[in-house]
């Protein structure tokens, strides 16, 4: 899977509408919400202005690799899924901001998929996850650095498990297992 900085640089140079965290969150939300055309829908959202024409080959490869690895991790259901966020060695405020953007992207991705049509039929725990992610996306830091670091780690683990749970819970609503990874 591409690292956070590599994807951020690729998206920036290709004219993406968002950064790495939000783009990955959006991909995960779309994959949870629909089984067909999720890669196409994702690229159309990340590159709305240029219909993918401005992408460099490196960005196309990076996006395809991210899609394939994310799809694999969610589909296998072995709890290998991990949100694409800055490294633990990066400043906490950067990681927290990226986590909030990831959550916003995920919620956006759920809405972009066919979730809007099935919102009234969502399993209760998926609705709770959506509410929690909205709150995480709006959270503001407070407290000392050690407490913030522990809280970040706890929220990240919650997010990781919640996304896998959402993917599995929405499988019946989504239909088939999903689409194969993006082709370059």
Q: How far apart are CA 144 and CA 121, in angstroms?
A: 41
For the segment 66-102, what is each residue's pLDDT rounded down to a tens digit?
A: 999 999 999 998 888 999 999 999 999 899 999 999 9
Task: For the chain, give every domain's residue range.
Answer: 4-174
CATH fold for domain 4-174: 1.20.120
Estimate the share of the chain in helix, then strand, then coil, as percent rounded to the nearest 5: 70, 0, 30
Q: How far apart are CA 93 and CA 82, in angstroms?
A: 19
Tokens describing residue 179: 């689409």
Evaluate whether 34 touches 116 at the Cβ level (below 8 Å). no
Is residue 184 predicted with pLDDT exceeding 60? no
Evaluate whether 80 touches 73 at the Cβ level (below 8 Å). yes
pLDDT grade for 20, boundaries at 50, 70 and 90:
very high
For the segment 134-183, what is each residue's pLDDT rounded down to a tens digit?
A: 777 766 555 567 778 888 888 999 999 999 999 998 887 776 555 555 64
**CA Rg, the chain, in Å?**
16
Residues present in the chain in total: 184
Q: Supply the mean pLDDT for the chain.
A: 82
For the segment 119-145, what is each residue's pLDDT rounded down to a tens digit?
A: 666 777 787 888 788 777 766 555 567
């Amino acid at each position: 899977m591409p690292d956070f900085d590599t994807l951020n640089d690729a998206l920036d140079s290709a004219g993406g509408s968002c950064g790495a965290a939000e783009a990955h969150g959006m991909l995960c939300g779309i994959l949870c919400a629909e089984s067909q055309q999720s890669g196409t829908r994702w690229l159309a959202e990340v590159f709305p202005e240029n219909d993918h024409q401005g992408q460099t080959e490196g960005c196309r490869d990076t996006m395809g690799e991210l899609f394939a690895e994310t799809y694999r991790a969610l589909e296998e259901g072995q709890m290998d899924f991990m949100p694409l966020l800055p490294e633990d060695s990066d400043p906490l405020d950067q990681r927290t901001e990226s986590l909030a953007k990831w959550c916003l992207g995920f919620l956006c991705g759920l809405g972009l998929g066919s979730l809007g049509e099935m919102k009234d039929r969502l399993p209760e725990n998926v609705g709770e996850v959506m509410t929690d992610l909205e709150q995480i996306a709006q959270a503001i830091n407070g407290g000392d650095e050690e407490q913030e670091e522990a809280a970040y780690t706890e929220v990240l683990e919650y997010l990781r498990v919640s996304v896998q749970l959402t993917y599995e819970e929405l499988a019946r609503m989504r239909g088939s297992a999903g689409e194969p990874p993006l082709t370059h």
